[in-house]
């Protein structure tokens, strides 16, 4: 008789991490208590703590780790759930990232639009429900597209952060801390997520361009990218729009130096567009010899602190770490998209559920976190 074995399910629980560049992360274990990992102690990868918030900040600053995002995750009835909130400089509240803000905009347009449809007592078919939901206003649709693209970009960054952490732990476990180049089959996963990052960043940029085009009276289906929007703009009849004004004041769009009546992409947007064109349209990341292996860099040997380094070759030079480069563009993109959501004039508020919205409620005690 064939054996039947029940598949194990993860016990209920939750955790909270801050991910940093270099493969470093910190787990919150209690109020003002953090556990850092990995450190190299007793010839093994280990976790150390607890550290206070001030101690953690000091350690991070000393070793030039850059905070990437807050990662909250857990299991309920064996089902995994996760949220990723990018850390945006000069913002004190990181509860909602730009992907959430743009999702809120789309939802706050969709709910009044579909209110009568769903409150009707008439029985609806699946096709009718799909049509009602998908019959979106252009602003609603483009806000949803921006949100989905930003969430996909978040996932790419999350997976790269996890990859770096795993590689650093594995190097410590094998004792390879001498700057020796090495690689494994997971490198292909890194290549895929770097490629994905630039695809989704570019998509969010172009959906933003289409949204601005719609707001200033252009056809978003025709002017469906930032490049096409900028190519159509003219200085003498440039319409007043808060999103367009933000792109101008931030230096991402400037007057063309040779054609004063025209505009061109500039600043960070020009920088990331050039790199995206290189790694999406000209060659994929991982195609250069220097990019096919990584190594460990010593930070504080006595304290057991190291970081993982994986080069990105740009203009024939492989001096920069690919995650450091991506993090720079991640910060710029999330900051701009956050500001644009707030400047759009649309409702970015999170949906509030009232007692009329609740059909049933089940409360579970998840107990204390294992992390």
**H-type helices in the chain, by residue range?**
53-62, 98-119, 126-134, 138-174, 187-215, 226-232, 242-249, 267-276, 322-343
- Which of helix, strand or coil describes residue 370? coil
pLDDT given at position 153:
98
Q: Do you find a cis peptide bond into 38, omega within 30 degrees of 0?
A: yes
| Closest among 306, 291, 26 to 175, alpha carbons compared | 306
Contact residues for 338 (Cβ-Cβ < 8 A; gap 6+): 88, 91, 97, 98, 101
Helices (H) and strands (E) in the chain, counts: 9, 12
63: Cβ–Cβ under 8 A, 6 or more apart, which residues? 22, 24, 299, 300, 305, 307
- The pLDDT of residue 366: 43
Spell out the residues 6+ positions from residue 266 whose beta carbon is closer than 8 angstroms to its own.
251, 252, 253, 254
What pLDDT was estimated at residue 356?
A: 60
Mean pLDDT by 10 residues, the chain (371 residues): 89 96 97 97 95 97 97 94 93 88 96 88 84 93 98 98 98 92 93 98 98 97 97 89 96 95 97 98 96 97 97 93 98 98 93 62 49 33
pLDDT in the model for residue 322 = 98
SS3 state of residue 129: helix
Spans of all domains in the chain = 98-343
pTM value? 0.92
Whole-number Cα distances in Å, 267 to 161, 177, 251, 341: 26, 38, 6, 20
Q: In the beta sheet, which residues pair with residue 51? A: 34
């Amino acid at each position: 008789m064939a054996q039947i074995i029940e598949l194990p399910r993860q016990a209920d629980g939750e955790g909270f991490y801050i991910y940093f560049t270099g493969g470093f992360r910190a787990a919150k274990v209690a109020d003002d208590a953090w556990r850092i990992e990995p450190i190299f102690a007793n010839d093994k990868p280990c976790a150390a703590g607890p550290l206070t918030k001030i101690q953690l900040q000091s350690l991070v600053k000393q070793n030039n780790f850059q905070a990437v995002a807050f990662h909250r995750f857990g299991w309920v009835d064996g089902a995994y759930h996760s949220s990723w909130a990018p850390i945006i400089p000069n913002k004190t509240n990181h509860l909602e990232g730009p992907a959430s803000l743009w999702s809120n905009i789309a939802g706050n347009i969709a709910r009044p639009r579909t209110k009568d449809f769903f409150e009707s007592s008439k029985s609806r078919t699946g096709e009718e429900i799909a049509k009602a939901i998908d019959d979106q206003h252009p602003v609603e649709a483009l806000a949803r597209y921006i949100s989905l693209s930003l969430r996909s970009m978040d996932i790419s960054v999350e997976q790269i952060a996890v990859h770096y952490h795993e590689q650093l732990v594995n190097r410590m476990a094998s004792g390879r801390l001498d700057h020796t180049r090495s690689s494994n089959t997971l490198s292909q996963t890194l290549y895929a997520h770097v490629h994905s990052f630039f695809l989704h960043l570019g998509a969010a940029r172009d959906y933003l361009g289409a949204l601005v085009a719609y707001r200033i009276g252009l056809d978003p289906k025709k002017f469906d990218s930032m490049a096409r929007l900028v190519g159509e703009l003219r200085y003498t009849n440039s319409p007043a729009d808060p999103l367009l004004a933000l792109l101008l004041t931030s230096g991402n769009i400037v007057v063309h130096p040779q054609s004063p009546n025209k505009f061109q992409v500039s600043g960070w947007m020009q920088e990331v567009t050039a790199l995206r064109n290189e790694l999406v349209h000209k060659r994929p990341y991982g195609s250069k010899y220097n990019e096919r292996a990584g190594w460990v860099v010593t930070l504080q040997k006595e304290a057991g602190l190291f970081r993982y380094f994986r080069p990105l070759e740009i203009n024939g030079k492989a001096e920069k770490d690919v995650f450091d480069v991506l993090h720079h563009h991640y910060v710029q993109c999330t900051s701009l998209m956050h500001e644009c959501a707030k400047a759009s004039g649309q409702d970015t508020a999170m949906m509030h559920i009232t007692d009329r919205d609740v059909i049933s409620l089940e409360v579970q005690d998840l107990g204390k976190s294992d992390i």
